[in-house]
A and B are shown apart, each in its own frame.
Chain A
Amino acid sequence: MKFDTLIIGGGESALTAAITLAEAGQKVALATHGQTTLHFTSGSMDLLGANHDIGENTSPLAAAATLPAGHPYSIIGAGRLAGLADEVKPLFARAGIALIGEASHNHLRLTPVGLLRPAWLTLEGCPTADSPEDARGWGHVLLLGIEGMIDFFPEFIAANLKNYGIPSTIATMKLPASIASKPGTSEKMRATHIARSIDDATVDELARAVNAEIERHPGIDSVIMPAVAGLPDHSHAGRLRRGVNRRLMLLPTLPVSVPGLCVQASLERLLRRAGGTVLEGDRVVSGTFASDRLLRVRTRRLADDEVEADNYVLATGSFVSHGLESTADSVTEPIFGVDVNVAAGQGAPTAKDFFAAQPYMSCGVVTDGRFRCSLNGRTIANLRACGSILSGADSLHEGSGAGVAILTALAVAHDILDSKNSRK
């Protein structure tokens, strides 16, 4: 099989690169060996958020300009970051997902347990505010759980909101019979099960049931309930919010979260619409190289039918996605064995303080100024890497996971398109 570009990976970074290339007219395939960490996302994306401390890095773009040379943002170049960041909202909008937020300053999002944390972009309809003072504008909040649902923790949220000076009342509602009577929603419900049981008709009934709860609690200014609407696309979430008589905010739950699934499914749909091919459940296992080029790759399912492409993008993620593998004394990239920056992890790979910056997090593949990988020191001209597999970023400590994933993917896609145009 032959493509212009083969993207290896299936998460936020891989999908962003694939969509950008497919929309530019390339014949693109994406090979993904299972679902991705998008399933675990919170509905927000960070560019440079410093998760651990509110208020730090309120201007992520300005802070990105001060990062060390090996950081993916430094490789992109501070001058180009803002332009790439501007592409993200329109791209998600084409996928049917409305985002709020700006790269010039972080806003605050509410986590599943009720903490305010900085974010770059958030799905419209999730609880967000510009500052804790701004969040007090929510007024008296009704924390509305759903009977039988196991992934919502109103007591935690209430305690945390109280610390910010936000009063709240906890209540639990029953799902309307039309949703609850659907099989699979009876006990130990997860947000995804409820979301899948909601359709155009029942979403309105759910809105009415929420309104009935509001009636029961006079003095309520806004409602926070678990994000149980938003599949298969973002439209049911909007319809639910419009149907409720107070400000309704949908709080992403613990994984698997509805906003995460929604983003994944929406981006995949956009890719397919743009003519992209998804090799679902397949895994690239090896490649054949000649001098400085990757000629073709072998996948587990296509077996002897090797995949050929002009360009390849390695977006297989970090340790949790097996894009990187580690032993007690080494870190490797398991598909091609491209060069990995173990130096960043030299000495102790972990810091004793669990919450401190962890050296191993900055391990990743080494690239040149155009994110091209190298094999035994030799740059591979048509193999680029993007996303969390790259070295030089500690996404947890910096709060840079989504930004690195998306912005490096855009940089790589543009580089592929530019080099093709200049060759013509």
Chain B
Amino acid sequence: MSHPTVALVAFIALFTGYLVLAGIDYGVGLTLPRTGSDAPGRRAVLGAVGPLLLGNEAWLLVSVGALAGTLPGLRGALFEGAHPYALIAFAGALALNAGVQLRGRHPGERVRRAFDLLICAAGAAAAFGWGCFLAVTAAGVSLGSDGHVRGVAAPDPFTLLGGLTMVALLATHGSAFVAARLTGDPARRAAALTVVGATLAAALLAVTALTGWVGGSFDGGALRHPVLAALAVVLAVAALFLTRALAGGGRARLAPWATTAAVIAAACAVFAGKYPALLTSTVAGVPAPTVAQLATDETALAAVLWTSGPVLLLVVAAQVYLWLAVWAPARTAAPAPEPLEAPAFS
């Protein structure tokens, strides 16, 4: 495999990982008013995702940063073509981070309610933005023959439906996570929400795919492998039905695995369907640039890949460790912490 291909595959893997992991944060955020009925409930819900937030959100900068360093052409064109949606997504991610960090800093209940709403809106914005971004990627951007993007993609039904689908999908993902990690009232509410969300997400996903197909969004060779894309959509829908069965059947602990499969399948419907030409033009007669054309020069590419590759694997291993530690059910009581000795106020 040549270096540009490795970089492309790495980006797809990192960005899909970002959607799966940060999708939990966004989903938990946007279902927060529903899953947490009272103040302690909301606190427990946010506490469930708390230790993972920083690690999850890092995947955004890592995937985009790696793309900028290895395939600057692809990043430039995609982010220019889908500019407003990327902006919504980035703003949502930013606000969610800030909201979760700041919420606890004020003791007032009313202020916290306001923060809850902000977190909910931010989660919805991030999910919607990335959904639209993926839809624009699937349909292609208005790339001119000179290699410059002519303008941003107009908001057509396919794009907006893509955004809504991602909102429903990540809401299911987040509430399934809450249902699996908590017990008691928040978990019951989250499980009920998962069942509803999975149905809605499956329906929206099917409608979006059909809209794109019927509406001609994939015309002009936008998808290299339409069969693969259709297969991925079917898999995502199947995973959502499995989620429904698991969450409704009292096996909430397993449901997040099914939603994870659904998110991966939804992202792969776009990425695998278009591979290897992630960037296609909606302008007639303009061929899709090859990966090599989008890549930076060979020395820089090799340097980036060989420097960051091993470290990346190590960091991912650390994240897996963190997940295992957080995910493990509290079977054995943790060793009692050493009692803190009293601080002496001088």
A and B together in one complex: no
Q: Give A residues with C-beta under 8 Å from B.
A: none
